[in-house]
């Protein structure tokens, strides 16, 4: 049989399966039965991406079947077989969707199935920025259980995300491989149709980050080809149905590597036969042009971004360095070159082997750097990266920052020889390699004596406070320039953030001082100086020169932004926003929801539903992504009436920003305890309940002019 025939036969097979499943499910639930995948604002993402169709009922799938049929042309051109390949993904999505129509958790704990939008983002961001080099889909059982583990671990240690489908999952389970989203090995499902979930993730990444319009298959292929470095490993025997799906994968730019030699054809760079399965990894990386960054660090455990999301549970930990219970801190200090002995890592106090397994242990470390071009404004920028750096060590978990850090070391890492000094080794190696333009010498002092820590923590806090005061004392009017940030253009090509002292980047991670430091660390890097000399409208926050910068940085897709309005030319969003703010027409106020909040809002939309309206670098008046700390800013929606328009936000967010927000509202409008008048999920999740609450509390918005 020819390869094309095998592919078309495979699509036929998937089609037949979809038809059968759909008919059975409709017979059971009826055509009107609601159809929605959990935790997504993208409906059935493959249907949305390929056909521009928003599926909300089971019966709508009946319109899809003839389309798939039509795509199985059996035509002789490559494009014919590619199109049929996409048909397999639609058919597979129908089969999987039927499972979810019957049961919202059809896979229970055993398989992962559908990926939520939150997961799609968590995986999508590093994937499209290149922080994560790529992902592999492994299909079928490996020749042996041992080889299955070797392959999975091999990818893991190279920071490649691993999706498993079919027999290899049982092999991994037998070999007790630790699986799950955080460790980047995901058992998707037992059958080939589970591939629909992976394609759904890819399609959402293209729509979220690439602003690819639903239904635009050409743009979609282009985006996946250039931005998503993925590939497939299919073990012998490879059936027609896998080849059908493989055709779709190849069309997206994802090569397929197999050890099946029967009835198989080589297609250069796309369908590759590698009989020696031990060489799968090398062959795959070469086929997809993946080059790995190697950092050599002198520690006894593996170091890779694959371990960044690893969680170390109480039962598995050797020590718990808990900054919420003990005096802990982390700090960067600039020193004179003469005070530093490069690569000196000193421990002042006992090491972690001095305490019993499972104990708490205090730690504080100061990374001292010197360099002609070093500035103290860079210190917090380095410090904020420590979290990523330390987390990359296998068996080590770091959370928090400043004096609220927490580091856990697993028993396995401890047994492999990991000690306190290795934290120093990691920080030394990463600071030297990532900031080589300004750091000439670096040494690390690690403190573990409670008395030292008590004193040093207090000193560190004085330094943190000074930094915060420096930022607080700056206003948009007093600084000479703003900065832009285009870091997110790697996946959201039209997006630009304008960062000012009173409005930080929407990801919450880039303040004006950070943008300034980033610019000085790398003048050709993601943050550029934006002058603001030719003011157009001070109230709205419009400057001619800011607009010129935005036009240029967005390659012409944006003409004008306002810094202080949500209604007129609001700033765009890439997808990284910590919060979304949207107007609530009944009350003339705005609702804010943060990413962590999964519940409903009075707008009748969840965070992810609002996110799907806001992302992709387009302006959506009435909706705006922003950082948490922008809420308490005097410039928040200043032109539209300011923060006293806020009528609802989740309780946790209120607790976080409440005292600063209250202070702002009090200062500007004389309203006391403002947040007590702001609704949250404990008061109402619908607009009627909210209206009653606002009236009861006498919310100031009730006396304001209409927004619209
Ligand atoms: Fe930069 Fe904005 Fe992306 Fe944050 S969200 S990294 S400020 S472009
Ligand atoms: Ni972003
Ligand atoms: Ni962003």
Q: Is 384 helix (H, G, I), strand (E, B) or coil?
A: helix
Same domain, 589 and 495: yes
CA of 576 to the centre of ligand 2 (A): 4
Residue 652 has pLDDT above 90, yes or no: yes
> Could you say which DSSP state residue 496 is in?
-
Shortest CA distance to 447 belongs to which of 319, 351, 355, 349?
A: 349
CA of 484 to the centre of ligand 1 (A): 9
CA of 506 to the centre of ligand 1 (A): 6
> Could you say which DSSP state residue 256 is in?
E
Which residues make beta-bridge pairs with 187?
A: 164
Whose Cα sits closest to atom 1 in ligand 1? 485
- pLDDT at residue 618, as a whole number: 81
Cα separation, 135 vs 123, in Å, equals 10
- Mutational test site, ligand 1, from 497, 515, 572, max ligand atoms within 8 Å of CB: 497
Lowest mean pLDDT among 164-168, 446-450, 521-525, 554-558: 521-525
**What is the atom index within ligand 1 of the atom nearest the CA of 574?**
5
Are the C-beta atoms of 308 and 183 separated by less than 8 Å?
no
Shortest CA distance to 674 belongs to which of 686, 652, 687, 657?
A: 657
**Residue 388 pLDDT class (50, 70, 90 cuts):** confident
Encode burial over 373-399: b for 16+ CB neighbours within 10 A, e otherwise.
ebeebbbbbbbeebeebbbbbbbbbbe
Whose Cα sits closest to atom 6 in ligand 1? 487
Same domain, 487 and 467: no
Residue 335 has pLDDT above 90, yes or no: yes
Lowest mean pLDDT among 329-338, 520-529, 584-593: 520-529
How large is the average pLDDT for residues 323-328?
Answer: 92
| Domain CATH code at residue 383 | 3.30.1650.10
**Residue 236 pLDDT class (50, 70, 90 cuts):** very high
CA of 496 to the centre of ligand 2 (A): 9
Cα separation, 175 vs 141, in Å, equals 13
Task: Enter the tokens of residue 372.
Answer: 């002609």
Are the C-beta atoms of 420 and 347 separated by less than 8 Å?
yes
Are the C-beta atoms of 661 and 672 separated by less than 8 Å?
no
- Mutational test site, ligand 1, from 498, 509, 549, 571, max ligand atoms within 8 Å of CB: 509
How large is the average pLDDT for residues 443-447?
Answer: 97
Same domain, 503 and 452: no
Secondary structure of 572-640 as H, E, C letters: CCCCCCCEEEEEECCCCEEEEEECCCCCCCCCCCCHHHHHHHHCCCCCCCCEEEECHHHCCCCCCCHHH
- pLDDT at residue 575, as a whole number: 78
Cα separation, 605 vs 586, in Å, equals 15
**What is the atom index within ligand 1 of the atom nearest the CA of 515?**
7
Whose Cα sits closest to atom 7 in ligand 1? 505
Ligand nearest the Cα of residue 492 is: 2
How large is the average pLDDT for residues 205-219?
Answer: 88
Cα separation, 681 vs 660, in Å, equals 21
**What is the atom index within ligand 1 of the atom nearest the CA of 499?**
7
| Domain CATH code at residue 213 | 3.40.50.2030
State the helix-helix crossing angle for 117-129 and 607-614, rounded to 10 degrees. Answer: 40
Residue list, CB under 5 A from ion ligand 3: 488, 507, 574, 576
Cα separation, 462 vs 469, in Å, equals 10
Are the C-beta atoms of 247 and 12 separated by less than 8 Å?
no
**What is the atom index within ligand 1 of the atom nearest the CA of 526?**
1
Residue that is last in its domain, among 252, 287, 322:
287
Same domain, 368 and 238: no
Are the C-beta atoms of 589 and 602 separated by less than 8 Å?
no
CA of 507 to the centre of ligand 3 (A): 5
How large is the average pLDDT for residues 403-423?
Answer: 95
Q: Could you read off the pLDDT of 462-507 as tens digits, one per residue?
A: 999 898 888 888 999 999 999 999 987 766 778 999 999 999 999 8
Is residue 601 assigned to a domain?
A: yes
- Percent of the chain beyond pLDDT 90? 77
CA of 209 to the centre of ligand 2 (A): 8
Please enumerate, as own/partner, the contacts of 511-516 that have beta carbons within 8 Å and a separation of 24 or more: 511/471, 512/471, 512/474, 512/479, 512/482, 512/483, 513/377, 513/380, 513/467, 513/470, 513/471, 513/474, 514/380, 514/381, 515/483, 515/484, 515/485, 516/377, 516/483
- pLDDT at residue 293, as a whole number: 67
What is the domain count for the chain? 3
- pLDDT at residue 576, as a whole number: 81
**CB neighbourhood size of 477 (10 A):** 10
Distance of CA 543 to the CA centre of its chain: 32
Same domain, 442 and 487: no
Is residue 293 assigned to a domain?
A: no
- Mutational test site, ligand 1, from 482, 501, 506, max ligand atoms within 8 Å of CB: 506
- Mutational test site, ligand 1, from 504, 507, 526, 614, max ligand atoms within 8 Å of CB: 507
Residue 298 has pLDDT above 90, yes or no: no
Q: Could you read off the pLDDT of 178-205 as tens digits, one per residue?
A: 899 988 999 999 999 999 999 999 999 9
Ligand nearest the Cα of residue 125 is: 2
The residue among 27 and 615 whose pLDDT is bigger is 27
- pLDDT at residue 294, as a whole number: 61
Ligand nearest the Cα of residue 486 is: 1
**What is the atom index within ligand 1 of the atom nearest the CA of 508?**
4
Are the C-beta atoms of 219 and 240 separated by less than 8 Å?
no
Cα separation, 428 vs 2, in Å, equals 57
Task: Enter the tokens of residue 393.
Answer: 């060590």
Residue 477: partners with Cβ closer than 8 Å, 6 or more residues away: none
- pLDDT at residue 688, as a whole number: 95
Domain of 102 in residue numbering reads as 3-287
- Using a 6 Å CB cutoff, which residues line ligand 1? 485-488, 497, 499, 505-507, 509-510, 574, 576
φ, ψ (nearest 5 deg) of residue 130? 90, 0
**Residue 580 pLDDT class (50, 70, 90 cuts):** very high
ipTM of this complex prediction, to 2 decimal places: 0.88
Shortest CA distance to 668 belongs to which of 700, 697, 634, 691?
A: 634
Whose Cα sits closest to atom 3 in ligand 1? 488
Residue 585 has pLDDT above 80, yes or no: yes
Cα separation, 423 vs 408, in Å, equals 11
Is residue 294 assigned to a domain?
A: no
Same domain, 215 and 348: no
Shortest CA distance to 290 belongs to which of 229, 246, 333?
A: 229
Is residue 172 assigned to a domain?
A: yes
**What is the atom index within ligand 1 of the atom nearest the CA of 505?**
7
CA of 488 to the centre of ligand 2 (A): 4
Same domain, 330 and 442: yes
The secondary structure of the chain in percent helix, strand, coil, rounded to multiples of 5, reads: 45, 15, 40
Same domain, 571 and 552: yes
Sort residue 260 into left (φ over 0), alpha (ψ -120 to 50) or beta: beta
- pLDDT at residue 208, as a whole number: 86
State the helix-helix crossing angle for 240-251 and 78-102, rounded to 10 degrees. Answer: 110
Ligand nearest the Cα of residue 487 is: 1
Shortest CA distance to 600 belongs to which of 637, 566, 567, 648?
A: 648
CA of 126 to the centre of ligand 1 (A): 14
Distances (CA, A) of 674 to 50, 371, 638, 646: 47, 47, 17, 10
The residue among 231 and 557 whose pLDDT is bigger is 231
**Residue 399 pLDDT class (50, 70, 90 cuts):** confident
CA of 486 to the centre of ligand 2 (A): 8
Same domain, 689 and 556: yes
Lowest mean pLDDT among 112-116, 141-145, 370-374: 370-374
- pLDDT at residue 306, as a whole number: 76
CA of 527 to the centre of ligand 1 (A): 9
Shortest CA distance to 248 belongs to which of 87, 410, 448?
A: 87
Is residue 292 assigned to a domain?
A: no
Residue 295 has pLDDT above 70, yes or no: no
Is residue 297 assigned to a domain?
A: no
Which residues make beta-bridge pairs with 273?
A: 258
Q: Could you read off the pLDDT of 10-21 as tens digits, one per residue?
A: 999 999 999 999
**What is the atom index within ligand 1 of the atom nearest the CA of 489?**
8
Q: Is 443 helix (H, G, I), strand (E, B) or coil?
A: strand
Same domain, 671 and 532: yes
Residue that is last in its domain, among 472, 496, 522:
472
**CB neighbourhood size of 669 (10 A):** 13
Ligand nearest the Cα of residue 506 is: 1
CA of 561 to the centre of ligand 1 (A): 16
Q: Could you read off the pLDDT of 123-178 as tens digits, one per residue?
A: 998 888 777 899 999 999 999 999 999 999 999 888 899 999 999 999 999 999 98
How large is the average pLDDT for residues 690-707?
Answer: 95
Are the C-beta atoms of 490 and 129 separated by less than 8 Å?
yes
- pLDDT at residue 89, as a whole number: 98
Cα separation, 547 vs 512, in Å, equals 18
- Percent of the chain beyond pLDDT 70? 99
Residue 696 has pLDDT above 70, yes or no: yes
CA of 507 to the centre of ligand 2 (A): 6
- Mutational test site, ligand 1, from 505, 512, 554, 570, max ligand atoms within 8 Å of CB: 505
**What is the atom index within ligand 1 of the atom nearest the CA of 576?**
5
- pLDDT at residue 612, as a whole number: 82
Is residue 277 assigned to a domain?
A: yes
Is residue 240 assigned to a domain?
A: yes
- pLDDT at residue 97, as a whole number: 97
**What is the atom index within ligand 1 of the atom nearest the CA of 496?**
8
- pLDDT at residue 138, as a whole number: 98
Cα separation, 161 vs 180, in Å, equals 11
Cα separation, 256 vs 271, in Å, equals 5
Cα separation, 604 vs 612, in Å, equals 14
Residue 420 has pLDDT above 70, yes or no: yes
Same domain, 513 and 449: no
Same domain, 534 and 435: no
CA of 551 to the centre of ligand 2 (A): 18
**What is the atom index within ligand 1 of the atom nearest the CA of 504?**
7
- Return mean pLDDT, the chain: 93
CA of 94 to the centre of ligand 1 (A): 36
Residue that is last in its domain, among 405, 438, 472:
472
Whose Cα sits closest to atom 5 in ligand 1? 507
- pLDDT at residue 266, as a whole number: 85
294, 295, 301, 303 alpha-carbon torsion, rounded to 10°? -70
Are the C-beta atoms of 38 and 49 separated by less than 8 Å?
no
């Amino acid at each position: 049989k020819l390869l094309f025939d095998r592919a078309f036969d495979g699509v036929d097979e998937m089609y037949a399966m979809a038809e059968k499943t759909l008919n059975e499910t409709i017979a059971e639930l009826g055509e009107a039965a609601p159809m929605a995948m959990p935790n997504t604002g993208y409906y059935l993402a493959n249907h949305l991406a390929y056909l521009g169709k928003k599926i909300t009922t089971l019966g709508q799938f009946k319109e899809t079947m003839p389309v798939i049929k039509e795509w199985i042309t059996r035509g002789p051109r490559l494009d014919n077989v590619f199109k049929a390949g996409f048909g397999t993904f639609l058919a597979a999505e129908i089969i999987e969707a039927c499972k979810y129509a019957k049961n919202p958790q059809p896979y229970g704990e055993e398989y992962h199935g559908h990926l939520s939008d939150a997961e799609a983002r968590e995986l999508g961001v590093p994937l499209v920025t290149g922080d994560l080099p790529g992902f592999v889909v492994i299909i079928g059982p490996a020749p042996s259980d041992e080889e299955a583990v070797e392959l999975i671990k091999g990818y893991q240690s190279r920071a490649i995300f691993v999706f498993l489908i079919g027999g290899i999952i049982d092999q991994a389970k037998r070999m007790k491989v630790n699986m799950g989203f955080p460790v980047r090995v995901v058992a998707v499902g037992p059958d080939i149709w589970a591939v629909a979930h992976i394609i759904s993730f890819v399609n959402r990444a293209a729509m979220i980050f690439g602003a690819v319009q639903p239904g635009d298959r050409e743009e979609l292929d282009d985006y996946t080809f250039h931005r998503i470095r993925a590939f497939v490993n299919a073990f012998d025997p490879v059936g027609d149905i896998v080849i059908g799906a493989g055709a779709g994968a190849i069309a997206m730019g994802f090569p397929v590597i197999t050890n099946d030699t029967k009835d198989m054809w080589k297609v250069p760079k796309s369908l590759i036969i590698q009989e020696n399965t031990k060489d799968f990894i090398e062959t795959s990386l070469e086929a997809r042009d993946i080059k790995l960054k190697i950092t050599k660090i002198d520690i006894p455990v593996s170091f890779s971004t694959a371990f960044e999301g690893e969680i170390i549970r109480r039962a598995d930990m050797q020590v718990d360095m808990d900054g919420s219970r003990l005096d802990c801190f982390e700090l960067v200090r600039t020193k004179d070159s003469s005070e530093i002995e490069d690569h000196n890592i000193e421990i002042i106090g006992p090491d972690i082997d001095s305490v019993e397994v499972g104990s708490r242990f205090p730690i504080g470390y100061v990374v001292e750097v010197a360099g002609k071009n070093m500035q103290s404004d860079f210190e917090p920028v380095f410090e904020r990266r420590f979290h990523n750096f330390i987390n990359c060590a296998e068996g080590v978990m770091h959370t928090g920052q400043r004096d609220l850090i927490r580091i856990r070391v697993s028993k396995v890492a401890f047994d492999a020889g990991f000690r306190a000094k290795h934290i120093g080794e990691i920080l030394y190696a990463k600071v030297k390699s990532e900031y080589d333009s300004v750091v000439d010498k670096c040494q690390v002092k690690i403190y573990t004596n409670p008395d030292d820590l008590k004193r040093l923590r207090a000193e560190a806090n004085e330094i943190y406070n000074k930094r915060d005061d420096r930022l607080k004392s700056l206003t948009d009017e007093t600084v000479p320039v703003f900065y832009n940030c285009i870091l997110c253009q790697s996946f959201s090509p039209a997006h630009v953030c304008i960062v000012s002292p009173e409005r930080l980047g929407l990801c919450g991670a880039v303040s004006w001082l950070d943008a300034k430091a980033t610019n000085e660390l790398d003048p050709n890097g993601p943050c550029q100086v934006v002058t603001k000399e030719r003011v157009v409208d001070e109230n709205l926050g419009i400057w001619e020169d800011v607009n010129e910068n935005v036009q240029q940085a967005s390659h012409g897709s944006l003409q004008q932004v306002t810094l202080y309005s949500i209604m007129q030319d609001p700033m765009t969003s890439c997808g990284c926003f910590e919060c979304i703010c949207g107007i609530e027409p009944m009350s003339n106020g705005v609702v804010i929801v943060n990413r962590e909040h999964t519940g409903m809002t009075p707008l009748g939309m969840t965070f992810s539903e609002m996110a799907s309206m806001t992302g992709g670098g387009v302006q959506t008046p009435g909706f705006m992504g922003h950082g948490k700390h922008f809420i308490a800013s005097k410039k928040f929606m200043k032109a539209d009436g300011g923060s006293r328009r806020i009528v609802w936000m989740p309780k946790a967010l209120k607790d976080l920003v409440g005292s600063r927000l209250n202070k702002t509202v009090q200062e500007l409008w004389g309203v006391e305890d403002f947040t007590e008048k702001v609704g949250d999920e404990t008061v109402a999740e619908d607009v009627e309940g909210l209206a009653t609450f606002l009236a009861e509390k006498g919310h100031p918005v009730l006396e304001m002019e209409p927004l619209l």
